Amino acid sequence: MPRLPETFRNAVKLDRNLIYELIEQKNHPCFTLMMPTHGVPPERDNDPLQFKNLVSELEAKIKANGLDKHLNMISKLHSVEEDRDFWNHQSQGLAVFIHPEYLKVVRVQVPLPALTIVSDTFHVKPLYRYYQESGRFQVLVLGQDHVQLYEGNRYKLEEVDLEGKVPVSMKEGLGHELTDDHYNTATASGKGTNKQANQGTGHVVHGYMEISQEKDNDIRRFFNLVDEEITLHFSRPSGLPLILAALPENEAYFREVSKNEYLIPTGISGDVRFLDRNALKERTWEAYSVPYHQEIDEILERQALAETQHLSHSLLEDVALDAIDGKVDVLLVEEKRIIKGKVDQEHRRIEYLDSGVDDVLDDLSALVIEKSGRVILLPAEKMPHAGGAVSINRF
């Protein structure tokens, strides 16, 4: 296992690959600790104490499950309580995943519930809504001489470092291939009736329309390059929707060349570089909230139709069979609910455990993700049924 202090100081950010990695950790006693964190005092000053209490709670659950031989591993977490530098650099949520051969510390930019779980798998469910379906997004602020990327949600935006991955200006992206600002020249022999040849220099000065067209092509080539690198390094690894903030003419160019499947239709029109972070956050949420809520409504309508076609189940035992058989395309899960127990795939049933600490809904979610389905966490009032989970099946 990695050394404890270094792992905490190098806490990782959440992305799609990490979700899969966490799901794949099985057949161990797996220990999960989550909590909300705070970036500024006075709330931040209470975070070490809450962490201490959660570690103690986790130790008590380990003892209750007869796993005392692992206590020493968990007790080492107490050393983090006094690490002020660590607590002074938190986001809004902290998750710790640990078993005898694995340790991962994850920072997320939205609050997590305070909980501890002892199970044979990690408790991953609270993370799903924060990497894909929960109002998290990326914002591409784009111009011909500037490129910036932000990531966050309606509550917080943070700038993403693009260095070495995405060119941040046309000059950087196109280099010597960039058309001159005022006119373009090309070496020529002076032949051709349509050329204004300067016989003394051996250069041809192109006409205004030709220069304009070449500049248009420069913009398209640069925006195409930005699109490719943003998609490769940020959109696909995160799976997050991408919102474009650009002047109308630049937006038109970018949408013409973009092949980024995460780019949403609604964007922010105008030059937002000089907005403060809160104003940019509000403009971004305005652009994102419409398609986000529209998608949720469309999924709920799809579920209602699927139910009439016997392609949707709300009884947990039926949902479990759908998940085991790989039928589930979309799983709707009540986000703050935990149902004690686990899915027994071998015997194709749910095993409810009144004294256990595992979560049936977490097991169902992991099964669906593993079989290429989507998991959407919804508040209780948005759930179409009260059982905790509803399947929308492929067939």
My answer on whether 46 and 103 are in the same domain is yes
d(CA 67, CA 98): 14
CATH of the domain at 377: 3.30.1330.30
CB 151 within 8 A of CB 158: yes
Q: By mean pLDDT, which of 123-127, 150-154, 200-204, 223-227 is the weakest?
A: 200-204
The string of DSSP letters for 153-169 reads -SS-EEEEP-TTTS--S
d(CA 153, CA 6): 28
Instruction: Output the CA–CA distances (angstroms, integers) from residue 20 to 107, 124, 297, in the order listed.
Output: 16, 10, 27
Q: What does the pLDDT read at residue 10?
A: 79
98 by DSSP, 3-state: which? strand
pLDDT tens per residue across span 307-365: 999 999 999 999 999 999 999 999 999 988 999 999 999 999 999 987 656 899 999 99
My answer on whether 284 and 321 are in the same domain is no
Q: What does the pLDDT read at residue 146?
A: 95
d(CA 265, CA 290): 10
Domain that holds residue 11: 4-123
My answer on whether 256 and 164 are in the same domain is yes
The string of DSSP letters for 227-260 reads HHHHIIIIIHHH---EEEEE-HHHHHHHHHH---
Q: What does the pLDDT read at residue 85?
A: 84
d(CA 390, CA 318): 9
Indicate if the pLDDT at residue 302 is higher than 90.
yes
My answer on whether 287 and 315 are in the same domain is no
My answer on whether 172 and 225 are in the same domain is yes
The whole model's pTM is what?
0.63
Residues contacting 3, CB < 8 A, separation 6+? none
What mean pLDDT is predicted for residues 285-313? Answer: 92
**Domain membership flag for residue 298:** no
Higher pLDDT among residues 38 and 332, named by residue: 332
My answer on whether 73 and 219 are in the same domain is no
**Domain membership flag for residue 389:** yes
The structural domain count of the chain equals: 3
| Bond before 248 cis per omega within 30 degrees | no
My answer on whether 91 and 222 are in the same domain is no
